[in-house]
């Protein structure tokens, strides 16, 4: 089937599923349950009429990575949705860490773009375009390779969700002071379609821990609960979020090249 007439940085439902290594049936179920990434066009149409941007592609690749690691599809989609919503509000998207290729040690000339400067200007804040320039127009991009600083998510005993950075041994600053080996983020409550993703901050009276001692102590108690669970984990599912996003972009680009 030929690709609909979409802008280069827009993707069909089929391309999104391929990037995330999910089946069309998986994608249809997520759309039906309201757990698919937000479409940028065609929200009310049939699945094939929807189009998505790189934010949606990143979100679905995380769903696919969590699902392939053993998490139930609907729970994976709820967790990926919560993470995407939070990170998009702050950073505009889930972290791909593609910008690491513009710096040392990956870029032989930090501060200079490692591709032909005669190429048209594009929005390098968009993961699609930065990936395109790095993969298709430079010699430094490496497929399937984890990078220092990649965001990693850990799911402990199918319940506690923490994040950390790949290949960083320095502790993470806690909002109540001191450092922690991983940042507590969410709890997964329930299973399947009834699962809920509960943020560690949910229910706190205030985020100003310097003045609200009650909230600070409540957060400390929850933080310790997560860290004890991590230290005494029976199971720990680990997903490199940034690498999952890059791999999804690689799969989509490879499929487009093959279809050309």
Listing DSSP states for 110-164 in one string gives TTS-SS-TTSPP--TTSHHHHHHHHHHH-S---TT---TT-EEEEEETTTEEEEE
pLDDT digits (tens, 9 = 90+) for 92-124: 999 999 999 999 999 999 989 999 999 999 999
Q: Which residues lie below 8 Å from residue 144, measured CB to CB, with a gap of 6+?
A: 243, 247, 250
Number of H helices and E strands in the chain, helices first, is: 7, 9
Token duo for residue 44: 């009310």
Q: Comparing C-alpha atoms, which of 3, 24, 19 is closest to residue 56?
A: 19
Looking at residue 132, its pLDDT comes to 97
With cut-offs at 50, 70 and 90, classify the pLDDT of residue 20: very high
Looking at residue 81, its pLDDT comes to 95
pLDDT digits (tens, 9 = 90+) for 225-246: 999 999 999 999 999 999 999 9
Calculate mean pLDDT across residues 150-163. 98
With cut-offs at 50, 70 and 90, classify the pLDDT of residue 43: low
Q: Treating both helix axes as pointing N-terminal to C-terminal, what angle do 54-68 and 13-20 enclose, rounded to 10 degrees?
A: 40
Query: Mean pLDDT across the chain, nearest whole number?
Result: 92
Higher-confidence residue: 41 or 130? 130
Calculate mean pLDDT across residues 50-68. 96
Residue 46 scores a pLDDT above 70: no
Distance of CA 23 to CAs 14, 16, 67, 74, 252, Å? 9, 10, 12, 14, 14
Q: Comparing C-alpha atoms, which of 250, 184, 246, 192 is closest to residue 58?
A: 246
Token duo for residue 15: 């391309």
**Strand, helix or coil for residue 29:** helix
pLDDT digits (tens, 9 = 90+) for 132-146: 999 999 999 999 999
């Amino acid at each position: 089937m030929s690709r609909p007439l979409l802008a280069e940085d827009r993707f069909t439902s089929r391309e999104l599923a391929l990037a995330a290594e999910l089946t069309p049936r998986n994608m249809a179920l997520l759309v039906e349950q309201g757990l698919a990434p937000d479409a940028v066009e065609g929200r009310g149409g049939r699945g094939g009429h929807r189009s998505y941007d790189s934010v949606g592609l990143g979100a679905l690749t995380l769903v696919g990575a969590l699902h392939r690691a053993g998490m139930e599809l609907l729970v994976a989609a709820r967790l990926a949705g919560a993470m995407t919503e939070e990170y998009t509000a702050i950073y505009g998207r889930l972290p791909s860490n593609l910008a690491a290729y513009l710096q040392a040690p990956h870029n032989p000339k930090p501060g200079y773009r490692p591709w032909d400067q005669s190429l048209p200007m594009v929005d390098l804040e968009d993961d699609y375009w930065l990936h395109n320039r790095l993969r298709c127009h430079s010699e430094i991009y490496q497929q399937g390779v984890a990078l220092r600083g990649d965001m990693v998510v850990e799911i402990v005993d199918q319940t506690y969700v923490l994040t950390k950075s790949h290949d960083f041994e320095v502790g993470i600053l806690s909002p109540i002071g001191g450092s922690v080996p991983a940042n507590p983020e969410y709890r997964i409550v329930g299973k399947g379609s009834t699962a809920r993703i509960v943020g560690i901050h949910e229910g706190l009276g205030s985020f100003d821990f310097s003045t609200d001692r009650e909230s600070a102590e409540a957060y400390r108690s929850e933080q310790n609960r997560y860290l004890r669970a991590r230290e005494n984990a029976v199971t720990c599912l680990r997903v490199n979020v940034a690498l999952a996003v890059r791999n999804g972009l690689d799969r989509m680009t490879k499929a487009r090249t093959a279809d050309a």
